[in-house]
Structure 1
């Protein structure tokens, strides 16, 4: 666990700095990068973050680690209260050079919010005491695979963009393959080799991403389940809980907290 004994008086020199912003529904943050590693967390609302490594869906139970220099853009689904931590390269080194989705426990959530408060109030001593525990909890957090990888093969990319656009909920792999000019066996192999997941699992992640977006806009669970291609609400709820660790109702309760 990293030890930070003293923070300098100037906040710009702190090894961990923090920022709070509230974005309106549909706001798009254009592609950019940072000189520091960034932990991005939505206190309420859902973010969709796109990097060269894929598309990342970030609801309130998750935070996304974005390494130094990684270009990314963010789309806000509904009104989103964002909390961001910036870690200088030595402090952020343990989190690695790739994007990672981390589960946010109740303790970690409070530590992130307290760090933002301490930064805003220029409380260097408080940050110095808080930082070791915050870093320990971040390093101990479980990883959550709520991530939609993006392929480079043009045939697979065509299929994936069609699925992301919500056009092909009911189409089979064979039908999608015919549209892309490839065999279903070739597409299945590309999903495994390029995206490291099966076609079924990748489409499930896309459906979940679209469901989160619709739920954040106030659509009912029954409607969202039907539009996501599930035969029943219970089947959708089961998938949701397996991936996110909570039911849609529990998620909505958490996400409904007013931004501040």
Structure 2
């Protein structure tokens, strides 16, 4: 029986810190790479956005979902890891520190069609382009436009606290677990009141709001991977599809079916404040 050759990790494809150009880009098809990108860091800031499928990043004590038409911004020097859906096709934009007026903290950004195309063009250029040529000028315009993009809330605070992390890890693996706060308190050897205070202090959310946000993160990832609304509803433990649709629309301003349609058309989806 032939030996299985492990898929190549995405971080072995390209070292962005070998160039000092303001911005360089590359494309990755995760049919050709391992889905799991291990914890790592680099000098350059990194924008990760999905051209197809989705990727979940862990950085800065948060889980970030990167559905199609959005990107997660990770400043230089921040440790991060990622896991892509099997059908993910991603683009990376690496930004030299001080080259753009981008946030100092991790965040999710909308990606306009223009930025999408400019990053695509940069990905086809030499990564050591002269600083006075057309590629350099386009890189500067791309960074200026990126700095104007609105932020979106596709993140889940998980904290470095061991008890919160334990709950986050368990519910990420089994999001259909509908255990109450009291049950979770027993599992992590705390009183219900103490766990409620800890959750609010560490994440800024009540347990119920935090779990709903986790469900949104999982739902966006699964819908982007091609899962049906019915299957996502079951995976998240909802008693009915209608209950899931109601939660999704109340949070994001569109139904899961409408959201899936935007993945196919590339149109901007409505997001509620």
- Deviation for aligned residue 1:17: 1.0
Q: Which residue, 59, 70, 74 being the options, matches 1:62?
A: 70
Per the alignment, residue 105 of structure 2 pairs with: 98
Q: Which residue, 51, 74, 87 being the options, matches 2:82?
A: 74
- Deviation for aligned residue 1:33: 1.0
Match of 1:78, SS state, is: coil
Report if the CA contact (8 A) 1:18-1:119 is conserved.
no
How far apart are the structure 2 equivalents of 1:99 and 1:173? 29
Match of 2:53, SS state, is: strand
Match of 1:162, SS state, is: helix
Report if the CA contact (8 A) 2:50-2:71 is conserved.
yes
Write the deviation string for residues 201-239 of structure 1: whole angstroms up to 9, x where unpaired.
211122123223433443310221233133443443344
Q: Which residue, 19, 25, 35 being the options, matches 1:12?
A: 19
- Identify if the C-alpha distance between structure 1 residues 88 and 227 changes in structure 2 by more than 3 Å, giving closer, same or farther: same
**Coordinate RMSD, CA, aligned:** 2.8
Larger RCO of the pair (alpha carbons < 8 Å, separation 6+): 1
- Deviation for aligned residue 1:150: 1.9
How far apart are the structure 2 equivalents of 1:21 and 1:46? 12
Q: Which residue, 210, 213, 227 being the options, matches 1:202?
A: 210
TM-score, normalised to structure 1's length? Answer: 0.81
Count of residues in Structure 1 that have an aligned counterpart in Structure 2: 246
- Deviation for aligned residue 1:256: 5.1
Structure 1 spans left out of the alignment, 5+ residues: 1-10
Per the alignment, residue 176 of structure 1 pairs with: 184
- Deviation for aligned residue 1:193: 0.7
Report if the CA contact (8 A) 1:34-1:69 is conserved.
yes
Q: Which residue, 223, 237, 254 being the options, matches 1:229?
A: 237
How far apart are the structure 2 equivalents of 1:78 and 1:240? 24
How far apart are the structure 1 equivalents of 2:118 and 2:227? 31
Match of 1:90, SS state, is: coil
Structure 2 spans left out of the alignment, 5+ residues: 1-17, 266-273
TM-score, normalised to structure 2's length? Answer: 0.78
